[in-house]
Amino acid sequence: MSLFSRREFIGVAGFAAAQIRSHAAANRPALCLFSKHLPKLNYAQLAHTVKQMGFDGVDLTVRAEGHVLPERVAEDLPRAVETIRAQGLAVPMITTGLTSPSDPAARPTLKTAGRLGVPHFKLGYWQYRAGVPIESRLAEVRRDVTGLAAIAKDSGIVAGYHNHSGNYVGAAVWDIRSIIGDMDPHWIGYYFDPCHATAEGGEGGWRISLRMALDRIKMVAIKDFYWEKRAGKWEMRMCPLGEGMVQWPEFFATLRTARFAGPISLHMEYEAADEMAAITRDFAFLRKQVDAAYGGVS
């Protein structure tokens, strides 16, 4: 049963739409914090903390061990969104673990988010399987994504496919393109991650990936890294923004040229002695980059 009356739903949906329009009108992205990094905070504490830090909104985890558990999405997602919006923040995206349209949580999650006026959601992850041909695996994932995109369209929420480096289907952006290329671009696109694109693409591949995805980027994930040799093996070392290999000025200038105004989610995937201070520092770097590219104050 829904927690909202029709009048209450119209109110929260109208508030969400107004927040989204305010950023779109200025052709500016909404700067959000990925709630994964504040796992112990309840909804009120999360909202207060994110507001105090100066963010525009929250990228809310709606997945196993997230702020909203999939089995309680109908009850808890409205509470979470209402609490966050009460602080004057937006919830322009949720991060899910959805990988199959047959997942019992798929329809309730997307329907509830859609009714609340949350415009975007992140899909879960698929991996390549030993012994399974690449084309066969791509076909399997394409079937899953097609089904999820159909539910998304029916729910009025846009899907974003994250390009995560490693053994993930979609580590290479051209794999994502082969999966979603024929799908309705209004309802599904890229959740673009310049860090992972750089890890997979090196000197020039990340630029090609960005060009390929640019007209269908729905959301952006922000983090940084450099290569480090440990025990004779090269590994990604996640680090504070600006200390790694991502070419931030070029990346944001490209987004601005394309008039990207979707949500940008700040991640902090490295270890820090003081996590709150690290988030504050990274957010200041992010805001400076966005202001330099887009002009004005975000």
Largest CA distance in the chain: 62
Q: Count structural domains, the chain.
A: 1
pLDDT along the chain (298 residues), means of 10: 44 50 67 97 98 98 98 98 98 98 98 98 97 97 98 98 97 97 98 98 93 98 97 96 98 97 97 96 98 81
Cα 205 to the chain's mean position, in Å?
21
C-beta separation of 195 from 162 below 8 A: no
Distances (CA, A) of 82 to 39, 60, 72, 75, 210: 18, 12, 16, 12, 34
Predicted pLDDT at 7: 44
Report if residue 1 sits inside a domain.
no
Closest Cα partner for 208 from 221, 218, 198? 198
pTM greater than 0.75: yes
Residues 147, 140: Cα–Cα separation, whole Å: 11
Amino acid at 90: A
Predicted pLDDT at 297: 54
C-beta separation of 266 from 33 below 8 A: yes
Predicted pLDDT at 27: 84
Report if residue 26 sits inside a domain.
yes
Residues 187, 157: Cα–Cα separation, whole Å: 7
Predicted pLDDT at 25: 46
Report if residue 287 sits inside a domain.
yes
Report if residue 164 sits inside a domain.
yes
- How do 188-192 and 233-239 pair as beta strands? unpaired
Report if residue 46 sits inside a domain.
yes
Report if residue 196 sits inside a domain.
yes
Report if residue 264 sits inside a domain.
yes
Q: What is the CATH number of the domain that holds 10?
A: 3.20.20.150
Phi (first) and psi of residue 120, to 5 degrees: -135, 150
C-beta separation of 67 from 46 below 8 A: yes
Closest Cα partner for 166 from 199, 195, 141? 199
Closest Cα partner for 276 from 287, 286, 268? 268
Residues 33, 266: Cα–Cα separation, whole Å: 5
Which domain range does residue 286 map to? 6-294
Predicted pLDDT at 202: 87
Report if residue 178 sits inside a domain.
yes
Centre a 10 Å sphere on the Cβ of residue 96 and count the other Cβ atoms it contains. Answer: 27
